[in-house]
């Protein structure tokens, strides 16, 4: 439907010029009035091959009723990730108290927290897409969020180094325009390298582990200590871009609709 509307506006001038040319080629008879010299129709303002040359982004978004994208998270990493791929979200950090939720299954935990975060922000917007996320590291049967202090961060890395764990991220997408909600989770297996006590202390001293679920950031200093991953890379950052694309499609959108 949205593609048909777009093509209608793109090709608005193609047919009329051809018809004018045909009418000007009539046979000469009694009362014949010579037609004006035929001029080919002007090229449409844009077509599929040069669409990028015409600044119609806002115009198309209005016609297609693409709602604004809202990130219900205070995570700078998630914000930067979306900006990197052309999505400029409205940031509305959720004030939901995560300590209210106690679940032992990591996938259910992150999905529940992500949904509560999105639902907390959703009433602020009449027509928008609200994305809530939450991440945890699951290792040796334990669920790890952000470490509360440096001592805990050091203790965790003494367990994590040379080991592996599963990084779960919950994604909740609320479409307030259609009154629909989709909640999914993604998991990525992360393998950590061997580390000396000195390296652990130096990494924790950067402050980075205290800001991240699992006490590491794969897009920061922590990348030195991640040997490999199995699964989605951006899921480890805190938001799986392929999963986001699938969720948008399920709601009837194309991810390119949101590119700036």
For residues 125 and 67, what is the distance between their CA atoms, to the nearest angstrom? 10
**Weakest mean pLDDT among 17-31, 152-166, 179-193, 232-246:** 17-31
Report pLDDT for 82.
98
What phi and psi values does residue 232 have, to the nearest 5 degrees? -75, 125
- Say what the pLDDT of residue 99 is: 85
Helix (H, G, I), strand (E, B) or coil at 103: coil
What band does 31 get if pLDDT is binned at 50, 70 and 90?
A: very low
Which residues 6+ apart lie within 8 Å of 247 measured at CB? Answer: 171, 173, 182, 184
Report which DSSP code applies to 128: -
Each residue's pLDDT tens digit, 44-63: 444 444 444 334 444 444 55
d(CA 249, CA 196) in angstroms, rounded, equals 46
> Which pLDDT band holds residue 64 (cuts at 50, 70, 90)?
low
The arithmetic mean of pLDDT across residues 209-234, rounded, is 97
Averaged confidence pLDDT in the chain = 83
pLDDT digits (tens, 9 = 90+) for 69-103: 999 999 999 999 999 999 999 999 998 988 899 99
pLDDT band at 13 (very low <50, low <70, confident <90, very high): very low
Please indicate whether residue 197 is annotated as part of the active site.
no
Give the three-class secondary structure for 111. Answer: helix
- Least Cα distance to 240 among 143, 113, 134 occurs for 134
Identified catalytic residue from 95, 134, 149, 254: 134
Q: Name the pTM for this structure.
A: 0.76
């Amino acid at each position: 439907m949205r593609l048909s509307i777009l093509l209608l506006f793109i090709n608005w001038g193609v047919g009329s010029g051809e018809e004018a040319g045909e009418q000007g080629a009539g046979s000469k008879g009694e009362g014949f009035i010579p037609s004006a010299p035929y001029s080919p129709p002007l090229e449409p303002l844009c077509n599929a091959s040069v669409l990028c040359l015409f600044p119609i982004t806002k115009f198309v978004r209005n016609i297609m009723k693409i709602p604004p994208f809202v990130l219900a998270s205070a995570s700078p990493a998630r914000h930067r990730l979306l900006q990197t791929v052309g999505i400029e979200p409205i940031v509305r950090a959720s004030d939901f108290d995560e300590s209210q939720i106690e679940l032992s299954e990591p996938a259910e935990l992150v999905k529940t927290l992500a949904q509560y975060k999105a639902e907390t922000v959703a009433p602020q917007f009449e027509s928008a897409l609200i994305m809530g996320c939450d991440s945890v590291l699951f290792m040796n049967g334990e669920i790890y969020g952000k470490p509360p202090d440096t001592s805990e961060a050091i203790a965790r890395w003494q367990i994590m180094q040379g080991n592996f764990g599963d990084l779960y991220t919950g994604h909740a997408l609320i479409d307030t325009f259609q009154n629909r909600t989709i909640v999914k989770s993604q998991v990525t297996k992360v393998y950590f390298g061997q580390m000396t006590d000195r390296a652990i202390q130096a990494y924790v001293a950067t402050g980075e582990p205290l800001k991240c679920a699992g006490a590491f950031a794969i897009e920061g200093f922590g990348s030195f200590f991640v040997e490999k991953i199995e699964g989605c890379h951006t899921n480890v950052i805190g938001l799986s871009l392929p999963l986001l694309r699938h969720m948008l499609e399920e709601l009837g959108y194309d991810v390119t609709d949101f590119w700036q």
